[in-house]
Structure 1
Amino acid sequence: MSKRLLKAEDLYVLNSITNPQLSPSGEEAVFVRTSIDEEKNKYIAHLFHLDLTSGAVTQWSYGEDRVSSPTWSADGRNVAFVSNRNEKKQIYIISKNGGEARQLTTLANGVSQFQWSPCGQSIWFSGRLKEGKNFTDVAEKEEKKKPTAYIVEGMKYKADSIGLLSQDSYNHIGKIDVASGDIELFSEGNHNYSLEAVSHDGKKLVLSVNRAENKDFDFSQQLLLVDIETKKETTILNEEGNYGDAYFSYDDRYIAFYGGNHSYKNATHGAVYIYDTEEQNYRNLTEGFDAPIGDLAVADHQQGATAPTVVWTKANDLYFQVSTMGDIRLYYATLDGAIYPASPENEHVYGYDIERDGAFALLAISNPIMPGELFKYDVTTGERQQITHFNDAFVNEVELVQPEAITYKSSDGFDVYGWLMKPAQYEEGKKYPLIVEIHGGPHAMYANSFFHEMQLIAAQGYGVLYVNPRGSHGYSQAFVDAVRGDYGGGDYADIMAGLDAVIENQDWIDTDRLGVTGGSYGGFMTNWIVGHTNRFKAAVTQRSISNWISFFGVSDIGYYFSDWQIGTDMKDVEKLWQHSPLKYAENVETPLLILHSEKDFRCPIEQAEQLYITLKSMGKETQFVRFPDADHNLSRTGLPNLRIERLNQITGWFEKYL
């Protein structure tokens, strides 16, 4: 029986399987399945239990809300998780023996993080508190108030997906007694704390905090080892950069944590660091490893997929994800710095946990023609067994296109990697249009992962080319840094060289029907492309940057991101203008569809407004689509109906002009 073509509405059919967590015994696990309720236009995430001996999968939570962060107690009797079933995110506990989940916290502002105390009798957590308040204070009754002025003094006053930041509340650490519900406030002062780790003996915490008075240009992170009884702090490190996500070894001697200094600003490769609590020093375990630690892939399917930076075994070996050569693979390391790949190529390990003795792993795996399932994986033999089958019906019913990996040389000798998809139901001898997709970041990467949007475009009868130009993660530090200060230079050349390479080698591509699209940095590049070449017959720019001069002041990150990426600030507006696609608007002859979210604080909608009005005033072929109640992440986590509308706008524009 022939398979059907994929549709935009298949978003409602797909299941996102994430967050596998092995029990202390290694005999069972929990995970989260997220789906979309079309009628209610919302995401629903439930907790599931997995018996690894029998393979039985059992749903543990129900309702119309979302759960996240499932975590076993040290004795394996209970699982705590976060749910928004009562509006604010609160901690719930469910027994492995069954029964209803019990709500543990009723905090006025909800919970942002939590970790079990090893004794199982209490849970450490973090949440926001107004200045002078305690977690035990009763929530003030919400009354309709008159609007008040928001007085801005600092530069970090807003954030995408949040809006204006609270000026009188801070993230604090507390501990709650599981039996009584009594809460103790642990952290002090008007600072934002992050709970990073709890030691296995229950005597120490790792916290991160920035106590600088003026944080506008201060990107330092202080990582602290704190004695719970005395509150004595030992500084693990205090440096410019991004550090945190710590994990104690089972013997509590070592603390592994994630970090990246600011040598290359936000293009710096993330690394695994090891702190020795006896020697009181730290070192970069992956220093000689020229690839970033963690999952840097961009896609549009997985919901709430989080993975630990590091998982220890009892033998003090470590496992972690590495983004490398278009894959996200599991790697194994020893404390003396030996590092080896522990999972195969050509896939995306987007979640994992390791049995304590290192006997096996539980992996959440996706590839371009598999949306994602859980697998039990023997890290020694490489044998694997698929455990969940939530997306089997979809895979068996829908024709999915396997991309072909490509490699080519850019104009200045860089090796560039990417993928080419033929149209679904491709027929030899026919000519087909081709769409070039460009990812955001720019320090992200396309990967060997399922991408609903790519498959949809192929199902519409287009070939799809997507590459990782310079600036993309997953390759060398030199490669990811090469875009900084050169937006529209070598990165543009990389993309166009990829187009030339596939046209030369694939006679099915109709060079008179080429399209291009991308979002965020990919939107910038789409704007840049149509201002510098007429090769494309249609283009769709999404959540884009068009004017670096105004971006400096309107983006939530603009005032420092512009310097990090373009290499200057408002002291040199000529350079900002030189790299602004808006400067080249008069050259645009490609019909351009402009898509933008109303609540995008990362690339604010004024970027789209400037571009649209400028092009329209010049008599160019363009259209502007605004999405209400959507932020910078519309394509990934936006309201489901708006995600469908966005996809229809993209395919409709290409259908009209190609």
Structure 2
Amino acid sequence: MRPHDIQTLVTVGRPTLDPSGTTAVFATSRPDVTANRNVGQLWRTTLADGASRRLTQGVADSSPAFSPDGTAIAFLRADAKSKPQIHVMPADGGEPVPATDAPGGVSAFAWSPDGTRLAYLSRVVEEGRYGSVEGLDAAAESPRHITGIRWHANGLGYTADRPAHLFVIDAPDAAGEPLYAPAPAVGIRPDARLVRSDAVQLTDGAASHSGVVFTPDGREVLTVPDQIELDARDLSSRVIAVSVDGGAVRDVLSTDERLSVSDLTVAPDGTVAVLASSVGESGTDFVAPGVALWIVDGGSARPLTDPETVDLGEVGSHVTAVGDAFLVHVRTRGRVHLARVTLDSRLEVVLGGDAEVSGHAAAGDVIVASVARSGSLGELELVGVGAVTDFGAAARALGVVTPEELDVVGRDGYPVHGWLASPAGEGPHPVILMIHGGPYAQYGIHLFDEVQTLVSAGYAVAYCNPRGSAGYGRAHGRSIRHQMGTLDMNDVLDFLDGAIAHDDRLDGSRVGIMGGSYGGYLTAWTIAHDSRFAAAIVERGFLDPISFAGTSDIGSFFGIEYVGEDPAQVAAQSPMAVVDRVRTPTFVVHSELDFRCPLEQATRYYSALKRQGTPAEMLIFPGEDHELTRSGQPRHRLERLDAVLDWWARHLPVAR
């Protein structure tokens, strides 16, 4: 696979099922270099025969949801100002009808149980900001008066002046006559709205909301408000129920339960279930968060799964009520399985093996899921049957290497699990050690463009899930708290040594190292303690815990929880504190709008390397944030891969 081939990588979004369980609809997405954006449409699959067809012709349609009676599909499509809006279309296809014209766009929505209403979340911008006043650009806006400890978020920017609020609107008739733009006339605005009803705002104030879930009777919507703290960070969540007829609010779950909620659902009998982790008395205990399934009753919560051994924390995971049980995503050893959990805490895997489940839907006994595997970044699968699509065929036709799974025994006897991907031929092949971000995340078994492009260029790639990673129990993830750069560095180096010893085609005298985010941290830390590497790539790294605390969108708690607060203890885990030891040629890659690991982390580290004479180069991407490698502009993703290959060609050439 070459860098340009990222255009063949199709992902499949969370599917939706019609009530009869016979038809699934889902959105696809892929990078398009010519359009320089991610593009995709809705697809419809008849499960009986697996017949699939493209249902829409939008540029980037997403988030489909069948109406409760199965006659219509609501989904998100960008309007003329690139703001996602709810559109509704007949279930068997047809021209979509716009349902919303929210100035801040729509981020999430849900059908009411009777199908007559749609509730949604939309950001409400402060008057005079973000183009709300014609001719008033960002440079001319009034200053922002900040009193809390949070003010921005990666991928968004400033947050306090545009909280997300809950709205409800009547669902349009997808088969009705369209609305027509009025011709100019006295008393008629030429920009008259082309939606059928006015939205009613249900929440207000400074708190921003996430989650949109109707109660079974349709009278209330459950949501999670997020109030910016004045003095100290508190990750505890509050769940409220908001009346759709008047906006009255009642508490469902209070912050006294000390749970951080990532998803919620309501069963047909009214049982409320949440995916959540305990944040402890401090309110910020998030290192290796023990995400479990909890039942909420009378304001208190009880867990149905064991957070110490069962990991439900994969990014994007969600929970669905199925009868008297719930479907959840279980993260384990580079896989994400789909499991059913009963009210008496019995857990049964319904889709396992070498799979990474990213979304699911259920209707009766029928369950479908969006799944990534080693030969595809995303397919629709029918549980009990298998894949009913083959979007990965284009990528496989280019030549895809299936990585070899390895378990290496570390220097202290601890097992380190990971993969080795190698080019064909006898070698000797140079080796690149790749380190993931997080740190509480995991490398998996899905088709990985970064690995495939390096292998196609002639490099063997070793990558693993060291201590600190997810998917191996909570103790594994918490083992590096306040001792970053110790056990984790040993694990990645031991895995590299084990991979080289495993395959005699690998050249252990020619090795490189690279990683992003936490992987950037561990790369920078490792090259200050081990001089074996021909070169390194430090990307979007957590490099100076001290400045990170005042610049990152998670700076108010991340560094404190991971490296502590004692100055000597922090310095003992800081790449900036040992940058003077680095002699390895280093390529520093960062994005201009990265608010998770801000740009100053890169520029200060790079400047220190240059001052001391260490060979160093820096690459800065404009207009991109922390998610460049996953969802950045396709041209930038392509340019990044080209730059990575060029760096290795110069510092770690394939041929001796």
Q: TM-score, normalised by structure 1?
A: 0.90
Alpha-carbon distance in structure 2 between the residues aligned to 1:289 and 1:577: 30
Residue 400 (structure 1) aligns with: 400
Alpha-carbon distance in structure 1 between the residues aligned to 2:514 and 2:632: 19
Aligned-residue CA RMSD (Å): 2.1
Residue 183 (structure 1) aligns with: 199
* Unaligned 5+ runs, structure 1: 1-5, 134-138, 297-305, 379-383
1:348 maps onto 2:343 in alignment? no
Residue 595 (structure 1) aligns with: 589
Measured against aligned partners, the alpha-carbon deviations of 1:52-105 in whole angstroms (never above 9, x if no partner) come to 2343222222133x2221111100011111111322111110111432101111
Alpha-carbon distance in structure 2 between the residues aligned to 1:281 and 1:606: 43
Q: Secondary structure at 1:613's aligned position in 2?
A: helix
1:646 maps onto 2:640 in alignment? yes
Alpha-carbon distance in structure 2 between the residues aligned to 1:449 and 1:645: 23
Residue 481 (structure 2) aligns with: 484
1:233 maps onto 2:250 in alignment? yes
- What displacement does 1:294 show? 4.1
Determine which of 614, 617, 629 is the counterpart of 2:623: 629
Alignment of 1:105-144 (within 5 A): 105-130=100-125, 140-144=132-136
Residue 494 (structure 1) aligns with: 491
Alignment of 1:293-332 (within 5 A): 293-296=312-315, 306=316, 309-314=318-323, 316-332=324-340
Q: Alignment identity in percent?
A: 31
Alpha-carbon distance in structure 2 between the residues aligned to 1:561 and 1:212: 16
Residue 302 (structure 2) aligns with: 283
Q: Secondary structure at 1:458's aligned position in 2?
A: helix
Alpha-carbon distance in structure 2 between the residues aligned to 1:213 and 1:592: 39
Number of corresponding residues:
618
The 1:633–1:189 alpha-carbon spacing in structure 2 relative to 1, beyond 3 Å, is closer
* Bigger mean CA offset, 318-327 vs 44-53: 44-53
Alpha-carbon distance in structure 2 between the residues aligned to 1:215 and 1:229: 35
- What displacement does 1:495 show? 0.8
- What displacement does 1:557 show? 1.5
Residue 136 (structure 1) aligns with: none
- What displacement does 1:132 show? 9.7
> Is the 8 Å Cα contact of residues 153 and 595 (structure 2) preserved in structure 1?
yes
- What displacement does 1:645 show? 1.0
Alpha-carbon distance in structure 2 between the residues aligned to 1:319 and 1:405: 28
1:150 maps onto 2:144 in alignment? yes
> Is the 8 Å Cα contact of residues 196 and 244 (structure 1) preserved in structure 2?
no
Q: Secondary structure at 2:425's aligned position in 1?
A: coil
- What displacement does 1:385 show? 3.5
- What displacement does 1:227 show? 5.2
Alpha-carbon distance in structure 1 between the residues aligned to 2:89 and 2:413: 57
Determine which of 364, 369, 380 is the counterpart of 2:375: 369
- What displacement does 1:461 show? 0.9
Which residue identity is paired with 1:35? R
Which residue identity is paired with 2:625? D
Determine which of 252, 263, 266 is the counterpart of 1:248: 266
> Is the 8 Å Cα contact of residues 156 and 216 (structure 1) preserved in structure 2?
no
> Is the 8 Å Cα contact of residues 443 and 472 (structure 1) preserved in structure 2?
yes
Which residue identity is paired with 2:23? E
Determine which of 89, 92, 107 is the counterpart of 1:94: 89
- What displacement does 1:34 show? 1.2
- What displacement does 1:288 show? 6.4
Alpha-carbon distance in structure 2 between the residues aligned to 1:237 and 1:25: 37
Alpha-carbon distance in structure 1 between the residues aligned to 2:8 and 2:501: 38
- What displacement does 1:527 show? 0.5
- What displacement does 1:341 show? 1.8
Alpha-carbon distance in structure 1 between the residues aligned to 2:570 and 2:373: 39
Which residue identity is paired with 1:392? A
Alpha-carbon distance in structure 2 between the residues aligned to 1:289 and 1:562: 23
Alpha-carbon distance in structure 2 between the residues aligned to 1:148 and 1:225: 35
Residue 15 (structure 1) aligns with: 10
Q: Secondary structure at 1:400's aligned position in 2?
A: coil
Residue 346 (structure 2) aligns with: 338
The 1:147–1:250 alpha-carbon spacing in structure 2 relative to 1, beyond 3 Å, is closer
Determine which of 256, 262, 268 is the counterpart of 2:279: 262
Alignment of 1:6-85 (within 5 A): 6-64=1-59, 66-85=60-79
- What displacement does 1:45 show? 1.9
Q: Secondary structure at 2:41's aligned position in 1?
A: strand
- What displacement does 1:321 show? 0.7
Determine which of 425, 428, 431 is the counterpart of 1:427: 425
The 1:386–1:631 alpha-carbon spacing in structure 2 relative to 1, beyond 3 Å, is same
- What displacement does 1:211 show? 5.1
Residue 209 (structure 2) aligns with: 193
> Is the 8 Å Cα contact of residues 197 and 245 (structure 1) preserved in structure 2?
no
Residue 467 (structure 1) aligns with: 464
- What displacement does 1:639 show? 0.9
> Is the 8 Å Cα contact of residues 258 and 272 (structure 1) preserved in structure 2?
yes
- What displacement does 1:147 show? 4.2
- What displacement does 1:191 show? 2.3
The structure 1 segments of at least 4 consecutive aligned residues displaced by more than 6 Å after TM superposition are: none
- What displacement does 1:318 show? 1.9
- What displacement does 1:228 show? 4.7
- What displacement does 1:342 show? 1.7
Residue 547 (structure 2) aligns with: 550
Q: Secondary structure at 1:110's aligned position in 2?
A: coil
The 1:553–1:131 alpha-carbon spacing in structure 2 relative to 1, beyond 3 Å, is closer
Measured against aligned partners, the alpha-carbon deviations of 1:491-535 in whole angstroms (never above 9, x if no partner) come to 111111111222232222211110110000000111111111111
The 1:589–1:440 alpha-carbon spacing in structure 2 relative to 1, beyond 3 Å, is same
> Is the 8 Å Cα contact of residues 218 and 240 (structure 1) preserved in structure 2?
no
Alpha-carbon distance in structure 2 between the residues aligned to 1:194 and 1:543: 27
Alpha-carbon distance in structure 2 between the residues aligned to 1:370 and 1:70: 22
> Is the 8 Å Cα contact of residues 266 and 564 (structure 1) preserved in structure 2?
yes
> Is the 8 Å Cα contact of residues 591 and 621 (structure 1) preserved in structure 2?
yes
* Unaligned 5+ runs, structure 2: 173-195
> Is the 8 Å Cα contact of residues 355 and 372 (structure 2) preserved in structure 1?
yes
Q: Secondary structure at 2:15's aligned position in 1?
A: strand
Residue 172 (structure 1) aligns with: 165
Alpha-carbon distance in structure 2 between the residues aligned to 1:402 and 1:131: 51
Alpha-carbon distance in structure 2 between the residues aligned to 1:289 and 1:484: 16
Residue 413 (structure 2) aligns with: 413
Q: Secondary structure at 2:197's aligned position in 1?
A: coil
- What displacement does 1:574 show? 3.0
The 1:97–1:341 alpha-carbon spacing in structure 2 relative to 1, beyond 3 Å, is closer
Alpha-carbon distance in structure 1 between the residues aligned to 2:227 and 2:359: 33
The 1:247–1:183 alpha-carbon spacing in structure 2 relative to 1, beyond 3 Å, is same
Alpha-carbon distance in structure 2 between the residues aligned to 1:463 and 1:47: 37
Alpha-carbon distance in structure 2 between the residues aligned to 1:161 and 1:213: 21
The 1:244–1:645 alpha-carbon spacing in structure 2 relative to 1, beyond 3 Å, is closer
Determine which of 567, 571, 589 is the counterpart of 1:573: 567
Alpha-carbon distance in structure 2 between the residues aligned to 1:393 and 1:265: 40
The 1:190–1:344 alpha-carbon spacing in structure 2 relative to 1, beyond 3 Å, is closer
The 1:544–1:90 alpha-carbon spacing in structure 2 relative to 1, beyond 3 Å, is same
Alpha-carbon distance in structure 2 between the residues aligned to 1:608 and 1:213: 29
1:452 maps onto 2:444 in alignment? no
- What displacement does 1:140 show? 4.8
* Bigger mean CA offset, 223-232 vs 582-591: 223-232
